[in-house]
Amino acid sequence: MSDKTIHIERLPNGLTIVAEPMTALRSVAMTLLIPAGAIYDPIGLQGRSSMLAEWLPRGAGHRDASEILVELDALGVSHQQSASVTHISLSAAMLGSSLGPALEIMADMVLSPHLGEESFEPIQALALQSLQSLEDDPASLAMTHLRQRYFGDPWGRHAGGTPEGLQAIRTSDIRQAHSDLIQPEGAILAVAGSMNFNQLKDQVARLFGNWKAKPVPIPKNNPPRKLVEHLPKETNQCQITMAFPSVDIQAPDYYQARAALAILGGYSSARLFTEVREKRGLCYTVYAGYEAMYKQAAAVIYAGTGADRAQETLDVTLAELARLKRDGVTEDELDMMRAGLVSGLVMQQESSLSRSASLASDFYHLGRVRLIDEIRGALARLSADDVSQHAAGLDLENRTILTLGPQSLKIS
C-alpha cells in the first residue's frame, strides 16, 4: 500500500510534517498532535484541554460553526477532535482531492478559533455529561482509577478532567489555554494516503509557517506505585485491574515486552483468555496490554467478572502472570503471536486514518517512523528464549492492583 518512503520535514517554528504517500489508496488522512493535553491543565482546572479541543471547530476564521460543518460535509471529510493525557488531536479522513481545502479549515481551527462565549455553556455541559457517563461504565471507571494510581499526577489524569475542575473553568481559562498551549514546538502533522508531498509541504508552510512557538516544559514522570486498593461499588460485577512497569518503546527489548504481553492476554487464544474464560468460564472479558507514555510504559491487565467469581478470577490471573515469569513462552505461542500482530499491521496499512495516527505516535515516541518491514523483521528475529528471558525479569513487585465492586479481594 505504501511506496515505502516516509517524508519528514520540520518547519522553522518546530512543527514537524510526517507524511507517507500510499499510492494504492484514493483516500488520505491527517492527524495533528499538539502538546496541549491533560498533563498541562492547572490544578483545579482539570478538563480545560478537553473543553478547548471541543471548542476549536465551533467557529474559526471567516466561518461560523455551522459553516465549518457544512463545508467539511460537502468535501466528504470525516473529522474528529479530542484531548488525551498528552495532546490535543485533530484528525480527518477524505478523498485525496479534498486534502487541500480540509487542511485550510484545520489551520483556521488551530490558529484562529472564535472561542465565542455562546459556545461555553453547551461545551461545559457536554464535558460534565461525558464524565458522568463513566459512572455507568464500571470497566472504564476502574481503568481510569488504575491509571490515576499507577502513573500519578499529572500523567495518570483522565483527559475529561474532574467534575470540580470542569465546573471551575471559565471562558477566560480556555482562551488562556489556547494562547499558552496551542503552539507549534513539538506539534506533529502526520499525513498518510493519496497525496503529493511537495504540494503538501508548501501548503503547510504557507498555512502554519507564521505560527509562533512558545515551548512548554513536559512534566516529570513519577515512579511506579506499589499499591493494592479496592473501590466499593454496589454492582453485580467486579472489575479487576492491574499495572506494572514495562520497558519504554525505545528500549532494545521492546518487542520482547510486547510479545510476552500478547501471549499472556493479547488475543483470543492467549493464556488469560484460555485459562480464565475458556477452561473455567469465569468471565467474558480478560486481556493484557501495553500502554506507552512519554519515556515510560506499563503493562496493564483487566478482567470483568461476577462478584461471586471475582476471587477465583484474580487468583488464576495472578497464577498465569507468575507462570509467564517462571516458565517463559513456547515457540508455538510465539508463532501465533507473530501471525496476529503482522495481520494487524497489514490491516492498519489499508486504512489511511489508522496509518496517519500510527505515524504521529511513532514520531512522538521515537523521533522517527517505523515501516512495516522493520516491525515484521523485528518480530521474525524473536526467539522463545528472548521472550522468556524478558518475562523472567518482569517487575511484579512494583505493581498496582485496583478492584472495583461490592467486596474487596485477597491478594495471594
The one-character DSSP state at 56 is T
Spatial CA neighbour of 138 closest among 237, 44, 39, 279: 237
In this prediction, residues 325-342 reach a mean pLDDT of: 89
- CA 302 – CA 268 distance, rounded (Å): 14
The one-character DSSP state at 212 is P
pLDDT at 372 (0 to 100): 83
Q: Evaluate whether 40 touches 212 at the Cβ level (below 8 Å).
A: no
**Average model confidence (pLDDT) across the chain:** 94
Q: At 339, is the pLDDT very low, low, confident or very high (cuts 50, 70, 90)?
A: confident
In this prediction, residues 267-290 reach a mean pLDDT of: 91
pLDDT at 150 (0 to 100): 96
Spatial CA neighbour of 346 closest among 24, 76, 99: 24
Question: Residue 300 CB: number of other CB atoms within 10 A?
Answer: 22
- CA 272 – CA 274 distance, rounded (Å): 5
| Structure confidence by residue, pLDDT tens digits, 194-248 | 999 999 999 999 999 999 999 989 999 999 889 999 999 988 899 999 999 999 9
**Does the pLDDT at position 342 exceed 80?**
no
| Structure confidence by residue, pLDDT tens digits, 375-398 | 889 999 999 999 999 999 999 999
Q: Evaluate whether 38 touches 50 at the Cβ level (below 8 Å).
A: yes
Question: Residue 69 CB: number of other CB atoms within 10 A?
Answer: 15
Q: Evaluate whether 244 touches 398 at the Cβ level (below 8 Å).
A: yes
In this prediction, residues 138-148 reach a mean pLDDT of: 96
Q: At what angle do helices 171-181 and 48-55 cross, to 10 degrees?
A: 80
Per the confidence metrics, is the pTM higher than 0.95? no
Q: At 347, is the pLDDT very low, low, confident or very high (cuts 50, 70, 90)?
A: low
**Does the pLDDT at position 2 exceed 50?**
no
**Does the pLDDT at position 276 exceed 70?**
yes
Q: At 267, is the pLDDT very low, low, confident or very high (cuts 50, 70, 90)?
A: confident
> Residue 298 is inside which H or E element, if any?
strand 296-306
Reading the block at residue 84, the C-alpha cell is 488525551
**Does the pLDDT at position 1 exceed 50?**
no
pLDDT at 298 (0 to 100): 97
- CA 85 – CA 11 distance, rounded (Å): 25
Neighbour-count burial of 411, counting CB atoms closer than 10 A to its CB (0-12 exposed, 13-18 middle, 19+ buried): exposed
Show the CA angle centred on residue 27, arms to residues 21 and 32, nearest 5°. Answer: 70
What fold characterizes domain 7-208? Cytochrome Bc1 Complex; Chain A, domain 1 (3.30.830)
CATH number, domain 227-405: 3.30.830.10
Domain ranges of the chain: 7-208, 227-405
> Residue 293 is inside which H or E element, if any?
strand 283-293
Q: Evaluate whether 51 touches 123 at the Cβ level (below 8 Å).
A: yes
Spatial CA neighbour of 153 closest among 88, 83, 84, 223: 223
- CA 296 – CA 218 distance, rounded (Å): 13
Same CATH fold assignment for domains 7-208 and 227-405: yes
**Does the pLDDT at position 160 exceed 80?**
yes
